[in-house]
Chain A
Amino acid sequence: MMDVFNWDGTVSAKDFRIGALSFAQKWESLNSAFPPWSWVPCPKHPWLASPEEEGYLSLENICISRPYEVDIDQNSQTDPGEEETSCSEKEDDIDDATLVQSNHHELHYCDFHIVYSYTFRVPVLYLRAYCSDGRPLLLDEIEKELPACSSKESPETKWAFITQEEHPYLKRPWYKLHPCGTSEFMKLLFLGGDTGQPKLEVVLELYLLSWFSAVGQVVGLRIPCKMLNDRR
């Protein structure tokens, strides 16, 4: 695509869609623990019948109540030399999937949408959390389940800053992870990468994957190693 040194970390809307579909495909084939992401096309205008190329990725009804454990493929190899943040020591010990009921008497769920921002030219994660009876969670309840989303703005977690905003397509109040630092960390990801060698090319298909490997952690969604290792 283009060489990483001249790249500013952003993508066009068209490229976002390509990257999103590729990410969803990879997720579906390599991350069976979770339901698949689906692309939801959205018309630019409510009265426009033909679907435009605009849309967003959606993953819904994910239980975020703690403690929870994820079904990890028991065959996944973790290279002891690798220090991917998404492959923590915990994963080695987990057997089968268990949604362990937490101390709370009810479970909390979350919908995640990955939406393209025309302003920042990067993907943005929107989320909405609720109880099993549908009651929406308040920000402090969300922050308890997803402590990395804390609303305190600090240099390290600046890009994990969560605000309540209107969903650009659904026009309802959702929460979003602020995209302010995204282009910078995307450039860093591609410059440094997992092997410390800068990639010579910004490969579009990996863009969303790399983005999500960082952002997903904030909301407790980890990408299994084999998905990150798959370079197809």
Chain B
Amino acid sequence: MRKAIQKRMEAKKYVWEGAIPLQIHLHESQVTTLPPPPPALILAPRIGYLPLLVPLIKPHFSSTLPPGVDTIWFEYRGLPLKWYIPTGVLFDLLCAEPERPWNITVHFRGYPGNVLIPCDGEDSVKWSFINSLKEAAYIINGNCKNVMNMSQSDQLELWHSVMNGNLEAYLRVSSKLKLATIEDEYTSLCSSKSQQGSGETDFTGQVKTGRVPVRLYVWSISEDFDDWEDLSQVDSWEKISYINRPIEIHKEGKCFTLHDAMKSLLPEFFSDESLSDSKLARVDFEDAQKIPSEDVSSNKVVEDQGQNAYEHREACCISSSAEIKLIRIQGIEPKLEIPFSWLVNNLLNPDHFLHICVCVKVPQ
């Protein structure tokens, strides 16, 4: 059992130590000196947020900035970067072919207030983080009391642990929040094998049914490609569908995999699997078709999931050539067969959400 815990720490440590090398260029409109300053090279923690890097970046450019008040924002090839999305997620989402170092641009003026929520530095990021944590707590426990009732010092310690990438401190404070994790099916399997007859872990029936906080970022491409680099880059947030919806885990005697999780959030890409009627698999993209409803329990939450998948009155059946091309979590591309519980127990961000970047191909 201890080995399982060590293994879990190992994966979490990798996640917390993960970093993206950034090459940050000052936008030309703000360069007032010749020659222009060289870009700043910074290793950004995956689980962190871009505005937290400002204390490292600003000194690098301060001598060349025009006078005035700073309103700092970042941009990648013209797309303003949403500062409340963790850095690693932005990278996984916007760099189909991982670019190392990642070349982004920093602005100190001209904040795009119509696209980005204002950011007043560390406080705004902390506030956004705590809010996400509250949301995660609500999803897991049905209320946010544990987060709301955190002492000031605990809240500060938790936030600092995230800023500093201190996993031990984070685990120490966050354990007080009693955010239940789901039983790790993989680990149970391993430990039950190594402890024959101890009866400690019973694989079947142990996984709790519960809601898992998930944030899904979906971008689409329209044709096949040889190289990720060939793809035209995302130039607008409107082209990305952001799905902030919990995943409900059902224990049905078999392992709940990543595949099952994706199917519950994006049933439109799995429509041909559950249907025996081959005719439906040929339905054109634009047509609406009724999908026969599955046996759904009366539980309201299950109803949501079931309804999402099968009970749309005007459900859109995407043709069978629509498919999921890529799934990235913490920079990893897990296989669809992996137990979802493993992902949840190891790849969560500090805000207790699983952030998943998905690329789908849809026919034009």
Which A residues are closer than 8 A to B by beta carbons? 8, 10-14, 44-53, 118-121, 136, 163-166, 168, 171-173, 180
Contacts and interface: CB of A to CB of B under 8 A. Distances in A.
B286 A172 contact: no
Nearest to B318: A48
B134 A180 contact: yes
Given A49-B285, A53-B312, A163-B131, A44 B241 contact: yes
Contacts of B118: 164, 173
Interface of B: 82, 113-118, 131, 134-135, 138-139, 142, 144, 148, 213, 218, 220, 237-246, 268, 285-286, 288, 300-301, 303-304, 307-308, 311-314, 316, 362
A219 B231 CA distance: 46
The secondary structure that dominates the A interface is: loop
Contact of B138 (A13, A119, A164, A172): A119
A44 B311 CA distance: 15
A6 to B, nearest CB: 11
Contact of B244 (A11, A44, A118): A118
A136 B117 CA distance: 13
A180 B144 contact: yes
A42 to B, nearest CB: 10
Contacts of A51: 314
A120 B246 CA distance: 10
A47 B242 CA distance: 13
Nearest to A49: B286
Given A48-B268, A50-B286, A118-B245, A12 B314 contact: no
Contacts of A53: 312-314
A121 B135 CA distance: 12
Contacts of A52: 312, 314, 316
Instruction: With a 10 A CB-CB cut-off, give which of A12, A14, A45, A119 has the most chain B CB atoms.
Output: A45
Contacts of B242: 168, 171
A166 B117 contact: yes
A12 B304 contact: yes
B218 A45 contact: yes
A213 B258 CA distance: 42
The secondary structure that dominates the B interface is: mixed
Given A45-B220, A52-B312, A172 B115 contact: yes
Contacts of B316: 48-50, 52
A164 B124 CA distance: 11
Contacts of B362: 47
A91 to B, nearest CB: 36
Given A12-B304, A14-B311, A46 B241 contact: yes
Contacts of B268: 44-45, 48
Contacts of A48: 268, 316
Contacts of A168: 242, 244
A119 B135 contact: yes
Nearest to B220: A47
B141 to A, nearest CB: 12
A13 B307 contact: yes
Given A14-B307, A119-B244, A136-B113, 14 more contacts: A10-B300, A14-B303, A14-B311, A45-B220, A46-B240, A47-B220, A49-B316, A51-B314, A119-B135, A119-B139, A168-B244, A173-B113, A173-B114, A180-B148
Contacts of B238: 46, 171
Contacts of B301: 12, 121
Nearest to A14: B307
B264 to A, nearest CB: 12
B138 A173 contact: no
A45 B113 contact: no
Given A12-B304, A118-B244, A171 B237 contact: yes
A25 B114 CA distance: 32
29 contacts: A11-B300, A12-B300, A12-B301, A12-B304, A13-B304, A13-B307, A14-B311, A46-B239, A46-B241, A47-B239, A47-B362, A48-B268, A49-B285, A49-B316, A50-B316, A52-B312, A52-B314, A53-B313, A118-B245, A118-B304, A119-B213, A119-B244, A121-B301, A163-B131, A168-B244, A171-B242, A172-B115, A173-B114, A180-B138
Contacts of A180: 134, 138, 144, 148
B117 A173 contact: yes
Nearest to B117: A173
A44 B243 contact: yes
Q: Which 6 A-B pairs have the closest CB atoms?
A: A50-B316, A118-B245, A45-B241, A173-B117, A12-B304, A50-B288
Contacts of B246: 118-119
Contacts of A12: 300-301, 303-304, 307
